[in-house]
Amino acid sequence: MPLIIAEIAQAHEGSLGIAHSYIDALASCGVDAVKFQTHIADAESSEFERFRVKFSYEDETRFDYWKRMEFTLEQWKGLKEHCDKVGVEFISSPFSCAAVDILEKVGVKRYKIGSGEMTNYLMLAKIARTGKPIILSSGMSDYKELEQCIAFLKPFGNDISLLQCTTAYPTQPEQWGFKEIPNLKGRYGIPIGYSDHSSDITVCIAATALGAEILEFHAVFDKKMFGPDAKASLNLDEISKLVKSVRKLEISLNQISDKADISSYNDLKILFGKSLAVNKNLNQGHVITLEDLESKKPAKMGIAAKEFSDVLGKTLNKPLLQWDFLKLEDLK
């Protein structure tokens, strides 16, 4: 059963009230977890970090933006308590060792690592020493980098999962990379999920059918909202539809369909089955040809339609009317 994670990230725009509003809204959509990002500007960034995309009207620098996204330890604890209250797991991705310290005090159950942090072994070692499960995102990493990161973490003994991800906002169909789901499963032998930035519910539904064990996507109240991820996010209606679709798929994929036993279809097979009939009036002594035959519902009214070749060349021992079923006793 896939773990469904709705990522709020910075969609709260630094507003604690909006952050809490997202928790309530996403819990009502049926997700398993909501995910934030824990940013501490002084520990994480510097004046040299440029904007990935210049989207902000109020932040002069990327550092200023991260500063505005900060919450205090008590505020983070409040968000975690709110998640607990409404029955969703609180997750937050750290981007510094200082952020890990905060999240440990908050009491996270697991860690999700953004793809830009895959080579941040200093922070990864700190997280690994907690013993908690780690979800890695593959977005900006090639196979070699993924192998090195997993090899670095394995000695610590944490449960490790990996998400197929394409770092493009929004991701286009040719970038979805579904073939990587089985590839990554085969390469690393660990749970594989999917981190989506497409703004399209098709992606996570398809990923579920392909065996993804974790689903992650960005959430936003409206895709026209301010922020770097809004256009690559799903709105609440889309998230509700996605969750319902994934839950249906869970039922379907866990259902064993045994073609060795189709006895439950016996009545339907008779109803939809066909028996041989003649398509014209035929006299006694007529030799049956292919042009004389029709197949009509239901089955078991005489000779089965699949046995038509057995009657070709046989002689009628009685006259038949058009559309009469053909029976073995009618033939010499």
Per-residue pLDDT at 49 exceeds 80: no
Other beta carbons less than 10 A from residue 268's beta carbon? 10
- The three-state secondary structure class of 165 is strand
The CA distance from 161 to 127, in Å, is 14
pLDDT class of 263 with cuts at 50, 70, 90: confident
| Closest CA relative to residue 67, chosen from 94, 45, 35 | 45
pLDDT class of 229 with cuts at 50, 70, 90: confident
The CA distance from 57 to 133, in Å, is 38
The CA distance from 82 to 102, in Å, is 17
Q: What is the pLDDT of residue 122?
A: 97
- Tell me the pLDDT tens digit for each residue of 5-47: 999 999 999 999 999 999 999 999 999 999 999 999 999 988 7
Q: What is the pLDDT of residue 265?
A: 87
Q: Which two three-digit tokens encode residue 112?
A: 């999700």
Going along the chain from its start, the domains and CATH numbers come out as 3-253 (3.20.20.70), 263-330 (3.90.1210.10)
Q: What percent of the chain has pLDDT over 70?
A: 98
- The three-state secondary structure class of 252 is helix
Per-residue pLDDT at 262 exceeds 90: no
The CA distance from 278 to 330, in Å, is 12
As a whole number of angstroms, the longest Cα–Cα distance in the chain is 102
State mean pLDDT over 170-182: 91
The residues near 273 (Cβ < 8 Å, ≥ 6 apart) are 297, 298, 299, 300, 304, 305
- The three-state secondary structure class of 69 is coil
- Give bridge partners of residue 294 from the DSSP assignment: 277
State mean pLDDT over 243-251: 94
Amino acid code (one letter) for 167:
T
- Tell me the pLDDT tens digit for each residue of 91-106: 999 999 999 999 999 9
- Give bridge partners of residue 37 from the DSSP assignment: 93
Annotate 206-233 with three-state secondary structure: HHHHCCCCEEEEEECCCCCCCCCCHHHC
pTM (2 d.p.)? 0.83
